[in-house]
A and B are shown apart, each in its own frame.
Chain A
């Protein structure tokens, strides 16, 4: 089941399935570690939201979160 990132709640984990949008932006996100296959955890949902990606924290706007599709996974 895929869902937009902004539908995950605080503390929920997900695996990124697809990042769409402006190629330059997709590229930037990939450099920051947010790309297909990477695991993330929502620290704080909303606009902007706070994500834990690998061992770093990223802050992202809600409108952009909806361009990222994730597959919810159990928090491990």
Chain B
């Protein structure tokens, strides 16, 4: 046996169980490949079959090889060996769902025309069996002319057989399938001759068959209107021959599939009522379904808040312990302050939210994997269509709840440019996971103590609801003004419900958690160091005396003070020096200068500074606040938690003690609506290929956030006054 790896490309319809099979085959040996110019990610993994190394490539789920966008074209190019970075696959592994075999085989017939050996994996045989659908693998293999293996990707049944079939197929002759009418082949061959060099035979057929498809768009750019004339006359000849496009392809392929399936598949004469049917009766119901959807969302957010509390406390304690260690090991000075306040407390304050991120992504993965997410999109389509978007915009918007960056990247599935841009521009309004720290900090500080137990969860839900309400409204406005146009067509598949795969969920959580930690270690760390420096310098007062020396001196006196009153007075003095230092720092001066702008929102200069500092990355506010409110921490035996610190600081202030809740709400609403994320703006620039759109997004979101925060505080103030 040779040691040269062979390459297997995994292709299938969405919901055929592709990711589960990929994970089962490659285990932990996976990485993600990115391609220039497109946003699809190709997952790659490796395994060995009979001692021979195998490289697996997981292509994005697709119903057909009729590419309509650059992203769909990547899969076709890769399968044809037209990607410069990737060698042509040796074997194509086509995965199909046994319970809906005919539909899934459509793609398989296209794969069989690529000139590469194909192995067919029939997945979810047991689910099909429960519905009375039996697939005879032997007969299917004979009639289709392919190696066919029955598998159960979630339990791993049949995988050994599948591996053996893959090894055997590598290097074998590819199937020769000619299901399309000969006249289509003749016309496609003519196109292949005309545009030789650009078009392998497979793409020549796609050019002919896909009206307005990617091959047509791309070649029109290259060859101009002459191509259009050639294509039109070729398509007219097909109509004259009785094979009108696009019906001809579907007719030919389904005709072949019907023949193949006739011998191999036995189905009950009456379709059995499945669990999916029963569940959908309730879950897609206009009233009950919507109520359940809202209840599920509320449960998810409440669970995030309650269950993550314990591990968050641990991380908090660990941060305090490390910071304490740094402080006692080093002598006072800029470096100690940088390490303890800037690095440890700043980054620790952000890492603390890792448990919540993990819970959120875990829930999203469960909802997606069990099939509920598509129902949510179905329920939401009516709302989405009212604002000129469609259900396809719902998934990008919903993923923006995790993070706007993958959400914006996911808009590539939207074919209509105006819809896509509208979705991109409103995606950052959805409450991403980076806003979670801000919400939970302020909710914990002001809305937990002596309040009903359901209030924090409800509040968090309400904050997320702001995004869900405002984003469609802004989209509607955009579609009526800047992005006017027709409402495009919309069709979506709802997969069968299934038990979610634990492995898949854990993997998603790890990926998300790692991305968050990496972000905390780079952009947030850099911002924290910069903010620390802006708050540390200048570290001498008007008289040229160092603040650190003054604080040390006063603290020392306080230690020695015999009388309790004297001691308290000196400690008070030390705190005043700390406050003076922060006010005189570069960032403090900027904040004080801008205070008139913050005052109508109910903010003091400290909140203003923290908000300003969090424009590159919104999580930074947590660390900044913990530095800003860190006065007087030295004499506390116990490390106070930040939320208590904020609550007690605000209690000392005349405005914020009375209007604590309106101020907290004003800050939260500002964060809910403001685009404080440099990475998001960079992604918008990349996706829209213009600086205009990210600039527009930044300006409109900042203005919206300011006005909304203003309204919230002013209205809140009136309510508080009215209540007494």
Chain A residues packing against B (C-beta within 8 Å)? 21-36, 43-44, 46-48, 50, 52-61, 63-64, 76
Contact = CB atoms under 8 A, between A and B. Distances in A.
B310 interface: no
Interface stretch (B100-108, B539-547, B644-652): B100-108
13 contacts: A23-B212, A23-B246, A27-B209, A29-B491, A32-B493, A33-B103, A34-B491, A55-B100, A56-B493, A57-B276, A57-B280, A63-B487, A64-B490
Given A31-B66, A36-B251, 5 more contacts: A25-B489, A35-B250, A43-B277, A47-B381, A57-B495
Contacts, number: 117
A7 B11 CA distance: 37
Contact of B489 (A21, A44, A50, A59): A21
B433 interface: no
Nearest to B267: A55
B381 A55 contact: no
A44 B381 CA distance: 14
Contacts of A30: 246-247, 249-250
A33 B102 contact: yes
A31 B286 CA distance: 28
B385 A47 contact: yes
Given A31-B66, A50-B378, A55-B133, A64 B491 contact: yes
A39 B64 CA distance: 21
Given A24-B210, A32-B491, A43-B280, A54 B247 contact: no
A48 B247 contact: no
Contacts of A22: 212, 489
Interface in B90-126: 99-100, 102-103, 106
B271 interface: yes
Interface string B477-493: 00000000001011111
A59 B249 CA distance: 23
B26 interface: no
B378 A23 contact: no
Contact of A54 (B66, B102, B210, B246): B102
B385 A61 contact: yes
A59 B100 contact: no
Nearest to A47: B382
B245 A48 contact: no
A50 B247 contact: no
Contacts of A43: 277, 280, 284
B271 A44 contact: no
A27 B494 contact: no
Contacts of A76: 269-270
B213 interface: yes
Contacts of A21: 489
Contact of A56 (B100, B269, B385, B390): B100
Given A24-B211, A31-B66, A55-B271, A50 B494 contact: yes
Contacts of A44: 284
A32 B284 contact: no
Contact of A31 (B106, B245, B251, B284): B106
Contacts of A25: 489, 491
A59 B391 contact: yes
Contact of A48 (B63, B251, B378): B378
Interface residues of B, number: 47
A32 to B, nearest CB: 6
Contact of A59 (B209, B381, B487): B381
Contact of A27 (B133, B249, B286, B378): B249
Nearest to B390: A61
B461 interface: no
A35 B96 CA distance: 20
Given A24-B211, A60-B491, A36 B247 contact: yes
A61 B493 CA distance: 12
Contacts of B493: 32, 56-59
Contacts of A46: 286
B254 interface: yes
Nearest to B103: A33
Nearest to A61: B490
Given A31-B106, A47-B382, A58 B100 contact: no
A32 B63 contact: yes
Interface string B358-401: 00000000000000001001100110010000110000000000
A31 B211 contact: no
Interface string B73-101: 00000000000000000000000000110
B43 interface: no
B68 interface: yes
Contacts of A64: 489-491
A54 B391 contact: no
B491 A58 contact: yes
A8 B84 CA distance: 51
B491 A28 contact: yes
A46 B100 CA distance: 25
Among A32, A35, A36, A60, chain B packs the most CB atoms within 10 A around the CB of A32
A63 B488 CA distance: 10
B99 A55 contact: yes
Contacts of B269: 76
A32 B107 CA distance: 10
Chain A CB count within 10 A is highest, among B103, B249, B489, B492, for B489
Interface string B182-221: 0000000000000000000000000001111100000000
B280 A54 contact: no
Interface string B588-603: 0000000000000000
Nearest to B281: A43
Contacts of B106: 31, 33
B702 interface: no
B382 A55 contact: no
B131 interface: yes
Interface in B268-288: 269-271, 276-277, 280, 284, 286
Contacts of B391: 48, 59
Contacts of B490: 48, 59-61, 64
